[in-house]
Structure 1
Amino acid sequence: MWGFSYSDLSVCSTISVILPCMILSVAFCWLVKTRRVGDVRISSCPNPDCARCKIMREFERTRCAMKTKLSDLLRDQPEMGSSLTRIQPMLHQSNNNNVWCLDGLNPPPWVCQGVKDPDLLELHQKLSSLFLSSKFPKLLLLDYHQAEQNVDKWKVNNVPTGKWKVYHLMDQGVWQGDRTSCCPNIMQLLGKIASQLMVNNVYGNILLSVLEPGSSIEPHSGPCNYRLRCHIPILPSTGFYIRVGTVVHSWEEGKLLLFSDHHEHEVWHNQHAGKEPTSRVVLIVDIWHPSITSEEKLILNQLFQVTAM
């Protein structure tokens, strides 16, 4: 009645077998995005409970909540309206990387010699002078060894290879009083840049970070473009590398790394790099981009309080 022949049935049967296979193959390739880091093949993020991925998955829901929160702030504090030129567009425009991007703020991946922004260069110089002066590296190392004794205060992060553990002095904008007491030298230095620390903002962190040989951290992007991440080497080690954007650096004694982590970045260890490898230890400090005004900080802190996330 419908004009079907055996050949038609054969074609339909073939399609019914091939099509699901093709769909499954495409889905598998999309879900398991793999790439090489040195000589190690890793997946995009194997941890289903990853806090960073959770925030990214909830980005749109959070963005809607932030718009409502901003409306409430403006209703209660209308004088804030004049400081929203860069903030308000960020809440209305989605982006592929799920990153909060202040309008018109385009920090480079790396803050180093050759960067044209004089405020960024001044910040780099200030941080270098503070953390890398002759006496402080030894004091930072002393604090690290004291923190090592608080074994139960360290957190192990999920990574594709190796082991990455962290010791938070500030976790999501909140000082960790039970951990800061054993790092008096670090706390003294941080007091000198108190206004630049992201206190009470969910994206503000200060931590000791230890990567063991053979470790890698998958490519990812930070949550916002209004913070800069500073790495102060305490125990640099051979064979560890960090890529931000398209440029790769390593950790070296007496060399501070300052970058905008909203650009894609990753970390890995080349196990074939010469000397016997040891763990890499750095102090990580999140700070405000120097162009963020005090009024903008106030609004961003109210939008991105710990309870807001």
Structure 2
Amino acid sequence: MKTLEAIFNDIEELFGIGCLDRVKKMIADNQSYRIEGQEGAKWVMPELSSSAWLDPYDTASNLTNAIAQLEANADLIHQEYHQARELNILTPYDHYLGRREKWDGLYLFKGEEWTPESSQYFSASRAKLETNFTDLLCPLLEVHFSVLGPRAHIPPHSDLWNFTLNLHLAIDIPSNCDITVNGETREWQKGKVLLFDYSFIHEARNQSDSERVCLLMDIWHPDLTVAEKYALTSFVQLLRGS
């Protein structure tokens, strides 16, 4: 197996010397680039936009068209989800901080590949996601339906890093549900997207008597270059021993 240095050298030969400076800074010094709210994150890469909440419709990013297509297909995704939901195929959501009561998942993409369930139950939804998010999905993480049960609370926590973002497409949203990221609380709206940097501390609440369902996608931060995506993928794979 190649060392990280050898992998980085190959990437720099292809994309140019200096193309991985931000990645190297993060690895060499992982504390200096944090701002308030990111203290609990494992890795914080410098010089990425540092807003806790991001505007999913920002035309300056490369996300606008994909998000518009996602929202345009929200009814289709909702329909396929409910057809699958009747089969009781949810599993406890396997968060890296541990499993929590009343927090389930239904995975479409996991372990760097699309799941069998994505083909069997979500063929139309998967086709749309593959068409519109091919270059945006982070292969290191997941696409899944996150199901937060009645009266459930996900306590404040930070996730692993800031070079991917958490995209939520709201599927089933009862009243009295909200999410707080770095002190700012927002509510989901059915068929609409929320986008945030989950390196910031965040928590979610369902204070209703029904399930709250969102399609969650881990997407690359739009400030990243192609070279940086290659490097970060290799870096995390080596950390995981894969």
TM normalised by structure 2 equals: 0.82
* Contact in 2 for aligned 1:69/1:303 (Cα 8 Å): no
Q: Does the 8 A contact of 2:107 with 2:118 survive in 1?
A: yes
Against the structure 1 CA distance between its residues 229 and 91, is the aligned structure 2 distance closer, same or farther, given a 3 Å change threshold?
same
State the partner residue of 2:214: 282
Q: In the alignment, which residue of structure 1 is the partner of 2:227?
A: 295
User: Could you say which structure has the greater relative contact order, defined with CA pairs below 8 angstroms and 6 or more residues apart?
Assistant: 2
Cα separation, partners in 2 of 1:225 and 1:253, compared to 1, 3 Å: same
Among candidates 112, 118, 127, match of residue 173 of structure 1:
112
User: Structure 1 CA distance, aligned partners of 2:116 and 2:128?
Assistant: 16
Return the offset for 1:308.
2.9
Structure 2 residue matching 1:151: 3-state secondary structure: coil
2:13 equivalent to 1:70: no
168, 193, 196: which one aligns with 2:136:
196
Which ranges of structure 1 fall in alignment gaps of 5 or more residues? 1-67, 272-276
Which residue of 61, 80, 89 maps to 1:143?
80
Q: What residue is the counterpart of 1:14 in the other structure?
A: none
1:290 maps to amino acid: P
Structure 1 counterpart of 2:13, from 79, 84, 87: 79
Are positions 1:107 and 2:54 aligned together? no
Mapped partners of 2:114, 2:5: distance in 1: 29
Kindly indicate whether residue 123 of structure 2 is the aligned counterpart of residue 184 of structure 1.
Answer: yes
**Partner letter of residue 253 of structure 1?**
K
1:230–1:259 contact (8 Å) kept in structure 2:
yes
> Separation in 2 of the partners of 1:98 and 1:249?
21
Could you tell me the TM-score, scaled by structure 1's length?
A: 0.65
Which of 172, 179, 183 is the aligned partner of 1:246?
183
Matches within 5 A, 1:1-309: 69-74=3-8, 79=13, 81-95=17-31, 96-112=39-55, 118-120=59-61, 123=63, 125-133=64-72, 136-152=73-89, 154-156=91-93, 158-159=99-100, 163-191=102-130, 192-199=132-139, 201=140, 204-271=141-208, 277-305=209-237, 307-308=240-241
Alignment CA distance shift 1:155-1:78 (3 Å): same
The 3 A distance-change label for structure 1 pair 187 and 245 is same
CA RMSD across the alignment: 2.6
Unaligned runs of 5+ in 2: 32-38
Question: Distance between the aligned counterparts of 1:281 and 1:258, measured in 2?
Answer: 16
User: Letter of the aligned partner of 2:187 in structure 1?
Assistant: S
Deviations 1:190-221 (A, max 9, x none): 1222111112x2xx210011111100001111
Asked if 2 retains the 8 angstrom alpha-carbon contact of 1:167 and 1:209, the reply is yes
Q: From the two aligned structures, give the one with the greater helix fraction.
A: 1
In the alignment, residue 52 of structure 2 is paired with which amino acid?
A: P
Contact 1:147 1:179 in 2 (8 A): no
User: Which digits, 9 at most, give the CA deviation of each residue in 1:261-302, with x for residues without a partner?
Assistant: 11110011235xxxxx32111111111111211111111111
Contact (CA 8 Å) 2:177, 2:187: kept in 1 or not? Answer: yes
